[in-house]
Amino acid sequence: MLSTEIRKAYIDFFVERGHRQVPSIPLVPAGDPTLLFTSAGMVQFKPYFTGLATPPASRLTSIQKCFRATDLDEVGDTSHLTFFEMMGNFSVGEYFKREAIGWAWDFLTRVVGLPPQRLLITIYLDDEEAHDSWRELGVTEDRIVRYGEDVNYWFSGDTGPCGPDSEIYYDFGPQPDCGNCEPAHDGHLRYLEIWNLVFMMYFRHEDGTRSDLPARNIDTGAGLERISAVLQGTHDLYASDVFAPLIARIERLSGRSYGHDEAVDHAIRVVADHSRALTFLVADGVAPSNDGRGYVLRRVLRRAVYFGRGIG
Ligand code: SER
């Protein structure tokens, strides 16, 4: 499936299940001093989760453009991006774990046709409700791995809504760089996280304490570029149709071709990711400067220029 088909299939699937589609918000979130950038699909829904605003519907779905500079130094490998599209379905105090897990499984295994035995699940330590929901779908015990807060807990910022989560990974099988590595081992080629289901139940305060949100919510995020790559038979996001035109353009500009030399490939990937991110950041009103958002943009631009010069 091409990325355009995946976007449509995702939205259709959740609209059929009673979700209202809402558009992506800009990369600069309005009125949220806790965030520099829109870094997840749930950002525009935070006031609904905290009870500060009433949602237009209790089931929502979106494809949100996101920017994250947290992995900046990782970008250049085959799986990290600064700019990406996150497909998501959300429940504001309505459905919870069982439905979110069941639909994610149905979408991946039936709608887009991933082999169930290739999927691996992580859950938060003692989350038996999530565990039992996966088991009911036929996921075997050996395909469910438990992690602590470092992996299976999602925070929307230093303060704000948070909760335990369950992640779905695609398993490419043993790879030369890592035979029996674990899903949470970042930087290896075997497992690629494709979807995160967050059970958004708590609010983290400035002093680190947590209190219950007014209701139990669902926040999910599926990476469009990652699912596209998996469905197109590659673990390299830059080999998917999402990046094909950009890679071709960089090849023409540099006179280098992708897929022959690891150092060149790395530089091509940096330029592809960063130029895409910069384009969307500038379009959403960010300009280079010495602090805040503008400084992040400047760092991304400098990094793109550095690697771009390296390939001529
Ligand atoms: N907020 C979660 C994430 O960004 C799921 O959407 O991973």
Atom of ligand 1 nearest to the CA of 86: 6
Would you put residue 93 in left (φ > 0), alpha (ψ -120 to 50) or beta?
left
Instruction: Please give the number of the atom of ligand 1 that sits closest to the Cα of 198.
Output: 5
- Residue-level pLDDT at 179: 65
88 alpha carbon to ligand 1 midpoint, in Å?
A: 8
Its pTM stands at 0.96
Plot region of 267 (φ>0 → left; ψ -120 to 50 → alpha; else → beta): alpha
* Cα of 219 from ligand 1 centre, angstroms: 7
pLDDT at 182: 83
Phi, psi of 223 (to 5 degrees): -80, 115
**Rounded to an integer, what distance in angstroms lies between the CA atom of residue 13 and that of residue 99?**
13
pLDDT per residue rounded down to tens, the chain (312 residues): 999 999 999 999 999 999 999 999 999 999 888 899 999 999 999 999 999 999 999 999 999 999 999 889 989 999 999 999 999 999 999 999 999 999 999 999 999 999 999 999 999 999 999 999 999 999 999 999 999 999 999 999 899 999 999 999 999 998 887 767 888 777 788 999 999 999 999 999 999 999 999 999 999 999 999 999 999 999 999 999 999 999 999 999 999 999 999 999 999 999 999 999 999 999 999 999 999 999 999 999 999 999 999 999
What residue owns the CA closest to ligand 1's atom 4? 40
Q: Which residues line ligand 1 (CB under 6 A)?
A: 40-42, 88, 154, 196, 198, 219-221
Nearest CA to ligand 1 atom 2: 221
Q: How far is the CA of 168 from the centre of ligand 1 (A)?
A: 12
> Tokens 């859950």 — which residue?
123
